[in-house]
Structure 1
Amino acid sequence: MAQEMNITVISTPSKLIDIVLAPDGSNFPEWKFLIKVNLDGMGKGDHLEKECPTDATAGDWKTTDKALMSRVINCIDRRIILSMQHCQTVKEVWDLVNKWFSGTSNLRKLYQLSQEAYRSSQKGRELRDYYYDFKSVCVALCAAMPITNDVGEMTKQRDRLLVFSWIAGLDKEYDVIRSQLLGNKDLESLDQVFSMLQNASGNNDSNELQERNVLMSQGGSTSDNYGYGSRGGG
């Protein structure tokens, strides 16, 4: 007697693409590309960028948008959907996931992408896999920091990459401060970051100096750190 099997069938018309956006956004570049390609191919790419019209076509536009929205939502992990219940249009969903995962307003994501792009390592992967993974990172980084005609914005992007490169090379003792910096809304310049780190280091140095003074008052030696502490006499 054949064993009974339970098979779950997903109706393809209910999903715009075959992949689901991961809750950590790790596959966002691929997901974004496929969503856009499919909607453009259907002649509905304008729903990603335009608001609902206010003329006589508004009714039909809303009906189409709701149908498209359901198919896009079905391509998103359920844990993310809970945070987008306020979205009413495809554009609102699109703008929200771009804000979360594109990196444009997320310094930690930008930092991660910059490190994967500029400090890349094969790490035992097949050459082809290493190449495709690197290309994926480059696409995500370019999407997060697009080329524009705005000189000010381009200068800001360049300065941000310089900051990322510099703080990535900081010693381990600065790990906590680095994490705090990436939690900021923005990092304007390398000079600003250096000043912030110097101030933080100054506070740490003051605390350390107080500890050294206590040790010296108790007869402790500081030769290991300064090179001129108490020496054995003969």
Structure 2
Amino acid sequence: MADNKNVISDVIPVMTKITEHKLNGSNYLKWSKTVRVYLRSIDKDDHLTKDPPTDDTRQTWLREDARLFLQLRNSIHSEVIILINHCEFVKELMDYLNFLYSGKGNISRIYDVCKAFYRAEKEDKSLTAYFMDFKRVYEELNVLLPFSPDVKVQQAQREQLAVMSFLTGLPSEYETSKYQILSSSEISSLHETFTRVLRTESTQSSQTQRVLLLAVIQMNNRVIEEEVEEELQAIEIISVMERLVLIRTQEESFVIIIMSLAIQNIIVRNFRGKISDHRW
């Protein structure tokens, strides 16, 4: 019985969850923070940074890591589970989830967060709800652009913030430029960003001019085609009229010929009558 109790005590934690709020992708920052705090509270946060040991403690460490791994897995939504089936250790799992959802190095995500941070509005939310939303965005911004004692890193982050603020203020007609810049693997300098936007604007302007020119040419061609068609219709009408005149003329000529023949018949009959009278 004692052995059975030990087995049960070992199995129960496997089915538990670290948090009731399962990871669904959009709540990664809050979820990962909860996981790290939990692991630190039980003095197991070394599983986030260390690989399996190779000494005599390996088996114990692997058993603990497997138990924590299953607890993490039970705290993840089924749609995300499909993406992490290849992971076997806690560190591997957390690193991969960080790659998928943290947004670090994802310029488009940094842009979205900066836009939400610099253009936050209370709207119809309560003051507390507005503050909580703003704080959430602020915390995510700190994750995407974490503080660093390295001066060069700080300068690069300030340059990134300047670029994001510049792009946020551009109107909708510059969406193509913003998409190209945000799709790149790294953020260029503010000056380079402006140059790329200006270059794209010039290209779009040239393309617009070409489109307008083609439209004018097509319109002119359409007008010419309509004029030619009208002329052809006019020529066809004239041709028909000429045929009608010709037919009319032919009909009149035919009538004249018939009348001439009739007159000739009358003259011949009269002449024959006079000859008969003379004989008598």
Q: TM-score, normalised by structure 1?
A: 0.81
Q: Does 1:17 align with 2:13?
A: no
**Which residue number corresponds to residue 66 of structure 1?**
66
Separation in structure 2 between the aligned mates of residue 134 and residue 12 of structure 1, nearest angstrom:
37
The residue matched to 1:82 in structure 2 has which SS?
Answer: helix
Name the count of aligned residue pairs.
208
Mapping of residues 37-48 of structure 1, within 5 Å: 37-48=37-48
Structure 1 unmatched runs, 5+: 1-10, 221-234
Matches within 5 A, 1:91-110: 91-110=91-110
- Partners of 2:27 and 2:147 lie apart in 1 by 22
Unaligned runs of 5+ in 2: 1-12, 221-280
CA RMSD of aligned residues (A): 2.1
- Deviation digits for residues 147-198 of structure 1 (CA, Å, limit 9, x no counterpart): 1122222222111111111111111111233223222211121122222222
- 8 Å Cα contact 1:29/1:136 also seen in 2: no
Do residues 202 (structure 1) and 216 (structure 2) align? no
Is residue 14–residue 71 contact of structure 2 (8 Å, CA) maintained in 1? no
Q: Find the counterpart in structure 2 of residue 224 from structure 1.
A: none
- Summarize the Cα distance change of 1:179–1:211 in structure 2 as closer, same or farther, 3 Å threshold: closer
Distance in 2 between the 1:187 and 1:49 partners?
A: 29
Task: Give deviations 1:89-112, integer Å, cap 9, x for gaps.
Answer: 111111112122222121121111
Q: Which has the higher helix share?
A: 2
2:178 match: 178
State how far apart, in whole Å, the 2-side matches of 1:163 and 1:77 are: 36
How far apart are the structure 1 equivalents of 2:76 and 2:179?
29
Q: Is the 8 A contact 1:100 1:106 kept in 2?
A: no
| CA apart distance, 1:46 | 1.0
Q: Distance in 2 between matches of 1:176 and 1:210?
A: 18
1:154 aligns with 2:158: no
Identity of aligned residues (%): 30
Q: 2:63 is aligned with what amino acid? A: T
- The one-letter amino acid of 1:15's match is K
Measured in 2, the distance between the counterparts of 1:218 and 1:97 equals 55
Structure having the higher Rg: 2
Q: What do residues 124-153 of structure 1 show as CA deviations (whole Å, max 9, x unaligned)? A: 111111111111111111122111122222
Note if 1:192 corresponds to 2:192. yes
Deviation at 1:212, TM superposition (A): 4.1
Letter in 1 for 2:23: L
| AA in 2 matched with 1:92 | E
Tell me the equivalent position of 1:167: 167
| Aligned residue type for 1:95 | D
